[in-house]
Amino acid sequence: MSTLKAVRGTRDLLPPETALWNRIEATARTVFARYNFGEIRTPIFEDTGLFARGVGEETDIVSKEMYTWEDRARAQSEKSQSLTLRPENTAGVVRAYIEHKLGETGQLQKLYYIGPQFRRERPQKGRYRQFSQIGAEVIGPPSAGSESPLRDAEVLEMLATLLDELGIQGWTLHINSVGSAADRARYNDTLRAALAPVASQMCEDCQRRAVTNPLRVLDCKVPEDQPIIDALPKISDSLDLESKKHFAAVLAALDASSVPYTRNHRLVRGLDYYTRTTFEFTHGGLGAQNALLGGGRYDGLSEAIGGPKAPGIGFAMGLDRLVLTIQNQLVQNSAPPQVAQLVDAFIAPLGDAKNEEALTKINAAALALARELRRAGLSIELGDGTFRLKKSFEAADKVARRIVILGEDELASGILTVKDFASGTQTKVPRAELVSFLSS
Ligand code: HAM
């Protein structure tokens, strides 16, 4: 029979690597708390219409990459419904904002999320079909200050702080403004006109995009096309005065906080909901998939999915890519490889494999001892009464700092033998003193 494997583009994460994932998530939660964000958890699947209307029918994500199925009705009262595994979380957060009438609080909602997302992309290093994002959104009625450029700058300053606290060196913040929906439409027309005479000299994808979605030409990576693209009109020239002022205020606030950035006229991003500020943080060590995170402002998204006016700004970081970056850095700095943490002690029950009754008794006593020590806060690995002493020592040496021997004699006397692997010393410890002895 053929063996079953994890599906293409999905992976198992195993210890000790998962410890790094947990550390990153814990750091993010701590930083978010300092900026007064609270956690939101939305469902992993949603009505397909949410992404079609929110992210945009024409985007690659919606047109090619979603995991969508027709969910059959199970009862007369139900209708069959098209459902989709979430390819991103912003649309879900805004749906929840509308559904729970969070706008009626009159306050800015500052929400973060950590969780898996799904896109049927071509898998490669740093790009998976199930991947994890850490993201956050700031959204609310305009009266709560949700449109203010200060929100944009604060989010970007928080990201710079978070990446620094994660120890990620050498990131670059690329920033742009795509203006209002009207500015973007105007720019699309300008681009279409500018591309008409030159598109035939470009790659096949660009020839198609020049007609269907000219903005996407700016994402092209084909080297021969670059001089043509660099000579195209810039979106900054299509912005109205309000959008220009907004962007200038964002940049001024970043300057005041000494957050370094690079203006990137080509950063238009692949999701339709963006307005005004758009940004990405990249890292050179990642190769082709070099975007550590991306985000921007989406002032019309709530209305696009049937909600009240609720401007917002947010971002999502690729957790898989953060992990890769940190692992690369550890290798470069020739840090020791990640090793599993040793537990405080290994309890080795010494039984007689042939005497079932005695074996059961010593194993049971070992579990009771392990429970007592773990409840006192110690980390404990538990052996087995069938192990010979040599095997217990070998097993313990791999995972624990010390071994605690529990045989018939120890059980009767209440005095346990503890060996410390680092120092090689062996000590007799009364059971009542074991917790404090092992805590040292
Ligand atoms: P996005 O640029 O599509 O934006 O994704 C954000 C980040 O998720 C990327 O920069 C990348 O690090 C990671 N990512 C995306 N696709 C994959 C993949 N297939 N494998 C591994 N990592 C991936 C959004 O998702 C927006 N919702 C961000 C946002 C929030 N904008 C406003 N608020």
Tell me the CA–centroid distance for residue 259 and ligand 1, in Å: 22
Question: Which tokens hold the place of 227?
Answer: 């001089």
Q: Looking at 145-199, list the stretches that DSSP marks H as alpha helix, in order from N- to C-terminal side.
A: 149-165, 181-195
Ligand 1: residues with CB < 6 A are 88-90, 119, 121, 126-128, 131, 133, 135, 137, 271, 291-296, 298, 314-318, 320-321
In 3D, which of 269, 411, 251, 297 has the Cα closest to residue 347?
411
In 3D, which of 327, 309, 348, 328 has the Cα closest to residue 143?
309
**pLDDT tens digits, 3-43:** 999 999 999 999 999 999 999 999 999 999 999 999 999 99
Residue where the block lists tokens 């049937």: 306
In this predicted model, which residue has the larger pLDDT, 58 or 17?
Answer: 17
Tell me the CA–centroid distance for residue 316 and ligand 1, in Å: 5
> What's residue 338's pLDDT?
65
Which atom of ligand 1 is nearest the CA belonging to 280? Answer: 10
Which atom of ligand 1 is nearest the CA belonging to 89? Answer: 27
Mutate to test the pocket of ligand 1, among 122, 168, 293 (most ligand atoms within 8 A of CB): 293
Q: Is the pLDDT of residue 137 over 70?
A: yes
Ramachandran angles phi, psi of 243, nearest 5°: -65, -40
Provide the percentage of residues in the chain whose pLDDT is more than 90.
86
Instruction: Report whether 316 contacts 162 (CB < 8 A).
Output: no
> pLDDT grade, residue 337 (50/70/90)?
low
> What's residue 58's pLDDT?
81
Tell me the CA–centroid distance for residue 317 and ligand 1, in Å: 6
Q: What is the average pLDDT across 263-279?
A: 93
Quick check: helix, strand or coil at residue 66? coil
Q: Is the pLDDT of residue 51 over 70?
A: yes
In this predicted model, which residue has the larger pLDDT, 87 or 289?
Answer: 87
> What's residue 353's pLDDT?
80
Tell me the CA–centroid distance for residue 241 and ligand 1, in Å: 30
How many angstroms separate the CA atoms of 336 and 78, rounded? 56
DSSP 185-245: HHHHHHHHHHHTTTGGGS-HHHHHHHHH-GGGGGG---GGGHHHHHTSPPGGGG--HHHHH
Mean pLDDT score across all residues of the chain:
95
Q: Is the pLDDT of residue 413 over 70?
A: yes
